[in-house]
Structure 1
Amino acid sequence: MPLFNVYPLYNVTPVSAKGAYVYDENNTEYLDLYGGHAVISIGHAHPRYVEAITNQVSKLGFYSNAIQNPLQVELANKLEALSGCKDYELFLCNSGAEANENALKLASFQTNKSRVIAFKNGFHGRTSAAVAATDNKAIIAPINAQQKVTILDLNDLEAVKTELEKGDVCAVIVEFIQGVGGLDQATANFFEQVDLLCKANNTLFIADEVQSGYGRSGKFFAFQYYNVTPDIISIAKGMGNGFPIGGILIHPNIKAKFGMLGTTFGGNHLACAAGLAVLNVIEDEFLIDNVKVISEYFIKIAETIPQIKQIKGKGLMIGLEFDFEVSELRKKLIYDHHIFTGGASNKKLLRILPPLNINKGHINQFFEALVEALDE
């Protein structure tokens, strides 16, 4: 049976990985500066991660959410302690799209309204409401287009105010650092005023931290650079270091009712073991501090390369913008220099999303290859 052909594939077949490196079937070593879309947060095959998953699956890998699962409580408490999101409640699911889908559904339940405001170049997932709030018509099917979504420009505060005052908006959803869209950010004033406008208009403010969360920005969450209080925070990617897990953090002003949200696989024992291992490593190895150090080092070198026209993003969620499309540069880095990097909807942007425990030697290796590839 052939695979449904929806992915354009590079001719690389990874068979193993360790730390910041991936190895193919010929044992060729690749430096991984993309982490499978910002998923690999603590490095491939981290020993504490492997041990936690191995021990858990040997005991109990899965049972339903109809029974007690102390690992969920342990994960929630650890997440509260490290993130600083005191008194929020946690709902666990399996992916970023599912996290945003549940965030939007919960906002509609809470406000009894149905329209969503999202932003140009935003990406929130491929499920029904999440994809409708994504600024990419090519992936929105007619069944998704039935959702009531208004896409506005980042930083257009007057447009947000006008739409919210119509009284039918249940949620404003925003990435504080856009991922797929190209690492654009709004101003502090915009984020902070939108937060206030939401609270004045019975609208929930949703922080999509699926890609920017878990320390990648240099803070646990990217919204923490601003004076805002999201009603819901969506998380996934780096949360499980490759194991499928997602969730939403829910402000205590929103009250739970039996049955309003649900999932079969979300928060299973194996997922929680993976999630706890990630948080423990982030804490014990001071990875958020490392993000700040390595980001500063990366930017300092990037600023010396004349072909780089702009450096975007924060922490280890970095974009290098050129005055040409980077698809051929990415291929050259993969095939000639054995380095994985990422692209974006901005075709001139090279995205860098490495493991959070990457070191200066890895950064040097990348820039040596980049300079050589640009000269070629």
Structure 2
Amino acid sequence: MSLFNVYPLFDITPVSAKDLYVYDENNVEYLDLYGGHAVISIGHSHPKYVSAISNQVEKLGFYSNAIQNPLQVKLADKLEALSGCKDYQLFLCNSGAEANENALKLASFHNGKKKVLAFKNSFHGRTSATVAATDNPKIVAPINAQQEVDFLELGDLDAVETVLKQNETCAVIVEFIQGVGGLDQSTTEFYQGLDKLCKQYNTSLIADEVQSGFGRTGDFFAYQKHNITPDIISMAKGMGNGFPVGGILIHPSIKASYGLLGTTFGGNHLACAATLSVLDVLEEEKLMKNAKNISDYFQEKAKSLPNLKSIKGRGLMLGLEFKFPISELRKKLIFDHHIFTGSAKNPNLLRILPPLTIQKKHIDLFFDATCKVLKTL
């Protein structure tokens, strides 16, 4: 049987990894500055993470949500303490797309409306409503297109109000730093205005923190810089450090009822053990502070790069926008210098999403290699 060929693949086969480094079948060492799409938050094979999953699977790997799971309660309490999201409610699922799908569904249940407002260059997932709210017609199938979504320019509050006053929009979903779209972000004034308009027009504000959450920006969630209160917060990627887990945090104004949401695998014992270990390491190793410190160092070093148009992002969710397409630069970094980086919808943007355990020496290696490549292009 062949694999369904939907991924363009680099000819590299990882077989092991440790912290910032990945090793292929030929024992070639790669510096990982992409973390598998921002998934690796506390470093590959962190001993606390490995121990947590190993110990849990030895005792109980899975049972359904029809029984008590004290690990879910422990996770909710730890998440509240570390994130500062007081009194929110937790619903666990398996991925970022599923988190956003549940967020949109819950918003529609809550206020009885059906339309969605999203922003240009957004990416929220590949499932039914999330792909319709993603600004990429190429991945929206006809069955998804029946979902009614308004796409607006990020930053345009007048346009937002024009849509919301029609009283048909159940949710506004927004990435506070756009991921796949190219690390664009708006102003605090815009985000606070968005929050105010959602409350005024009985529309749920969904903070999509799937890529930016769990300390990646230096704050626990990216929205927290702007002093607002989302109705629903979605999260996934860095949450499980590679173990498939996602979830939404739900404001107490939204009430639960039996059967309203559900999942088979979401919140299973292994997922909870993985996420609890991530939270412990984030706290114990002060990785959010490290994200801010390394970000400052990175951005200062980046200023000396030739042909650089702009530095985008915040914390360790960063982008280098050049005056030319970066595809060749990225390939040379991988194959000539053994450094993983990422791309974006913006063809000139190189994305940097490393584990939060990264140190200055790793940044130095990246810039040394990048400067060498740029001289050859």
Instruction: State TM-score, norm by structure 1.
Output: 1.00
* Residue 25 of structure 1: aligned partner: 25
Which amino acid in structure 1 is aligned with residue 315 of structure 2? G
* Residue 258 of structure 1: aligned partner: 258
Q: Distance in 1 between matches of 2:361 and 2:61?
A: 37
Answer yes or no: is 1:232 the counterpart of 2:220.
no
SS at match of 1:337: coil
Q: Distance in 1 between matches of 2:348 and 2:207?
A: 26
Note the alpha carbon deviations across 1:226-275, whole angstroms, 9 max, x for none. 02100000000000000000000000000001001000000000000000
* Residue 131 of structure 1: aligned partner: 131
* Residue 372 of structure 1: aligned partner: 372
Gaps of 5+ in 2: none
Answer yes or no: is 1:338 the counterpart of 2:338.
yes
Note the alpha carbon deviations across 1:32-68, whole angstroms, 9 max, x for none. 0000000000000000000000000000000000000
Report the Cα offset of residue 188 of structure 1: 1.1
Q: Distance in 1 between matches of 2:218 and 2:179?
A: 15
Matches within 5 A, 1:218-367: 218-367=218-367
SS at match of 2:45: coil
Q: Distance in 2 between matches of 1:121 and 1:361?
A: 33
Which amino acid in structure 2 is aligned with residue 93 of structure 1? C
Report the Cα offset of residue 307 of structure 1: 2.0
Report the Cα offset of residue 306 of structure 1: 2.4
* Residue 80 of structure 1: aligned partner: 80
Task: Give the number of aligned pairs.
Answer: 376
Q: Distance in 2 between matches of 1:136 and 1:153?
A: 14
Q: Distance in 2 between matches of 1:4 and 1:201?
A: 44
Report the Cα offset of residue 186 of structure 1: 1.1
SS at match of 2:308: coil
* Residue 196 of structure 2: aligned partner: 196
Report the Cα offset of residue 305 of structure 1: 1.3
Q: Distance in 2 between matches of 1:67 and 1:199?
A: 36
Q: Distance in 1 between matches of 2:257 and 2:142?
A: 31
* Residue 152 of structure 1: aligned partner: 152
SS at match of 1:145: coil
SS at match of 1:142: coil
Answer yes or no: is 1:167 the counterpart of 2:167.
yes
* Residue 102 of structure 1: aligned partner: 102
Q: Distance in 2 between matches of 1:193 and 1:160?
A: 10
Identity %: 72
SS at match of 1:144: coil
Report the Cα offset of residue 218 of structure 1: 1.0
Q: Distance in 2 between matches of 1:335 and 1:272?
A: 37
Note the alpha carbon deviations across 1:163-215, whole angstroms, 9 max, x for none. 00000000000000000000000111111001000000010000000000011
Gaps of 5+ in 1: none
Q: Distance in 1 between matches of 2:20 and 2:329?
A: 20
Answer yes or no: is 1:55 the counterpart of 2:55.
yes
Which amino acid in structure 2 is aligned with residue 77 of structure 1? D
SS at match of 2:333: helix
Instruction: State TM-score, norm by structure 2.
Output: 0.99
Q: Distance in 1 between matches of 2:323 and 2:118?
A: 28
Report the Cα offset of residue 327 of structure 1: 0.8
* Residue 214 of structure 2: aligned partner: 214
**Cα-Cα RMSD:** 0.4
* Residue 91 of structure 1: aligned partner: 91
Report the Cα offset of residue 141 of structure 1: 0.2
* Residue 15 of structure 1: aligned partner: 15
Report the Cα offset of residue 304 of structure 1: 1.3
* Residue 111 of structure 1: aligned partner: 111
Which amino acid in structure 1 is aligned with residue 244 of structure 2? P
Q: Distance in 2 between matches of 1:124 and 1:65?
A: 26
Please identify runs of 4+ aligned residues in structure 1 that moved more than 4 A. Answer: none
Note the alpha carbon deviations across 1:2-53, whole angstroms, 9 max, x for none. 0000000001000000000000000000000000000000000000000000
Q: Distance in 1 between matches of 2:328 and 2:12?
A: 16
Q: Distance in 1 between matches of 2:372 and 2:57?
A: 45
